[in-house]
């Protein structure tokens, strides 16, 4: 530790620049992680936050609420499946809305449910669940409690009975990067008929289901799929992960993470190898006067830990305020799990990258101090 700190104090600029470089790389990695998480959450957050452990689409719906339609015969087959404790309709549509008499109209996804236990938000950040057709829970980065939302029909027409008041908010609950509202089924039907006055019966987009006590949601999903070739049942997490586009986003970012993850250990390993070569004469002299090679290697590893630890501290400090920002409709957040995982991974990779320099230290022969070869 003494040797490590003394050398770092003597070369403050050199080690400071390395720590700063690693800090910027850590910032880029964590920023990309936050953007990936924010994008995916904006696409499928509403699916992850709704309360049904199992979602059942129609096969033709391609595992999206927007494309799925559950016909009455299929709904009866689903509800008759053994092992269902609760089930309810879930409908979804994207509508043109106005908020608080604002002159600028916008789009909003409205999700309707018949049973709060299988379709409503599973957790609220503030407020309460709807208690009537004129109330809704909104995504918290788009709405505020007390907002009044009007669903516009053809030509921007609306009726007072179609006004919806936001009475609660839920976190990370957008659908397809669109402001999202959760309402009871009658309010959803009214929204559909307002947007399309000629609409007949309103069919659900999916069926939410909860298994009986002791039955795993994945097992219930398998039973529902076995009951009908037209049903496509998925657990809540699978429904979010297998939404079209999610896998592609993850794969794209994995390439970026791989490149960044390789840069940090490569920079660290090359830096310490160069330092070791530059001070080979001093290391040889230390070995000649009795310093053990294990002591020199420990000193090297301590420097690696301090440099990467300092870089992580700088990167996390810069990432913290950035993670509270919002990029358009994409909300970023501080991901503790990502910080821990990347910190451990980069530290391990950094130590492994220093193995080459450590081997160079172990190969030093103290006899070279008397021949002059240690400086070569």
Q: Are 53 and 239 in contact (CB under 8 A)?
A: no
- 103 and 217 part of one domain: yes
d(CA 3, CA 54): 60
- What is the pLDDT, as a whole number, of residue 359? 73
81 and 230, same structural domain?
Answer: yes
Regarding whether 250 and 223 lie in a shared domain, the answer is: no
What are the backbone angles phi and psi of residue 56, rounded to the nearest 5°? -115, 115
- Clarify whether residues 167 and 272 are in a common domain: no
Q: Which of 241, 273, 291 is the last residue of a domain?
A: 241
Q: Are 245 and 43 in contact (CB under 8 A)?
A: yes
- Which structure tokens are listed for 267? 């920079």
Give pLDDT, residue 14: 81
Residue 333 and residue 250 in one domain:
yes
pTM: 0.79
Q: Which residue has the tokens 């529902």?
A: 224
Tell the burial category of 2 from Cβ atoms under 10 Å away from its Cβ (0-12, 13-18, 19+): exposed
229 and 370 in a common domain: no
pLDDT tens digits for the chain (376 residues)? Answer: 555 676 667 778 888 888 898 899 899 999 999 999 888 988 899 999 999 999 999 999 889 998 999 999 999 999 999 999 999 999 999 998 888 876 678 889 999 999 999 999 999 999 999 998 889 999 988 899 999 998 887 655 554 446 899 999 999 899 988 999 999 999 999 888 888 877 778 999 999 999 999 999 999 999 999 999 999 999 999 999 999 888 888 888 888 888 888 888 888 888 777 777 666 666 665 555 556 666 667 777 888 888 889 999 999 999 999 888 877 777 888 889 999 999 998 888 888 888 877 776 666 655 654 555 544 4
What is the pLDDT at residue 249? Answer: 87
Domain end residue (candidates: 225, 241, 257): 241
pLDDT of 375: 47
pLDDT value for 368: 55
In whole angstroms, what is the distance from residue 108 CA to residue 149 CA?
A: 10
Considering the domain architecture, whether residues 39 and 54 belong to the same structural domain is answered as: no
State whether 38 and 76 are in the same domain: no
Shared domain check, 332 and 196: no
37 and 121 together in one domain? no
**How much is the pLDDT for 120?**
94
Residue 239 has phi, psi (to 5 degrees) of -65, -35
| Of residues 266, 239, 207, the one with CA closest to residue 77 | 207
**Residue 88: which domain range?**
47-241
Q: How far apart are CA 198 and CA 9, in angstroms?
A: 78
Interhelix angle 293-322/355-362, nearest 10 degrees: 160
Does residue 199 sit in the same domain as residue 281? no
User: What total number of domains does the chain contain?
Assistant: 2
- Among 191, 210, 241, the domain-final residue is 241
127 and 39 inside one domain: no
Where on the phi/psi map is residue 372: left (φ > 0), alpha (ψ -120 to 50), or beta?
A: left
């Amino acid at each position: 530790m003494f040797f490590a700190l003394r050398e770092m104090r003597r070369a403050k600029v050199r080690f400071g620049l390395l720590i700063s470089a690693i800090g910027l790389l850590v910032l880029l990695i964590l920023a990309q992680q936050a953007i990936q998480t924010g994008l995916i959450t904006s696409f499928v957050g509403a699916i992850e936050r709704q309360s049904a452990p199992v979602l059942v689409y129609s096969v033709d719906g391609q595992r999206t609420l927007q494309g799925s339609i559950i016909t009455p015969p299929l709904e009866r087959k689903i509800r008759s499946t053994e092992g269902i404790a609760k089930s309810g309709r879930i409908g979804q549509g994207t509508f043109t809305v106005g908020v608080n008499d604002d002159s600028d109209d916008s789009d909003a996804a409205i999700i309707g449910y018949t049973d709060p236990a299988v379709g409503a938000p599973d957790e609220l950040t503030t407020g309460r669940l709807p208690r009537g057709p004129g109330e809704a829970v909104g995504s918290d980065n788009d709405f505020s409690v007390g907002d009044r939302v009007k669903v516009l029909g053809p030509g921007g027409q609306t009726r007072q009975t179609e006004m919806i008041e936001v009475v609660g908010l839920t976190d990370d609950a957008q659908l397809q990067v669109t402001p999202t509202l959760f309402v009871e089924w009658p309010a959803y039907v009214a929204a559909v008929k307002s947007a399309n006055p000629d609409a007949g019966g309103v069919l659900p987009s999916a069926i939410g289901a909860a298994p009986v006590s002791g039955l795993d949601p994945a097992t219930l999903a398998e039973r529902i799929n076995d009951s009908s070739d037209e049903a496509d049942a998925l657990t809540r997490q699978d429904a979010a992960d297998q939404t079209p586009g999610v896998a592609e986003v993850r794969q794209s970012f994995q390439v970026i993470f791989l490149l960044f993850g390789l840069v940090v250990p490569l920079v660290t390993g090359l830096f310490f190898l160069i330092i070791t070569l530059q001070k080979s004469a001093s290391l040889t002299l230390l070995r000649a006067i009795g310093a053990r090679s294990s002591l020199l290697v420990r000193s090297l590893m301590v420097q690696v830990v301090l440099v990467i630890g300092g870089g992580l501290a700088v990167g996390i400090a810069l990432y913290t305020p950035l993670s509270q920002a919002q990029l358009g409709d994409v909300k970023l957040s501080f991901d503790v799990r990502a910080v821990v995982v990347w910190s451990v991974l980069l530290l391990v990779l950094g130590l492994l990258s220093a193995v080459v320099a450590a081997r160079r230290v172990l190969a030093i022969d103290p006899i070279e101090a008397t021949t002059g070869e240690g400086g070569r």
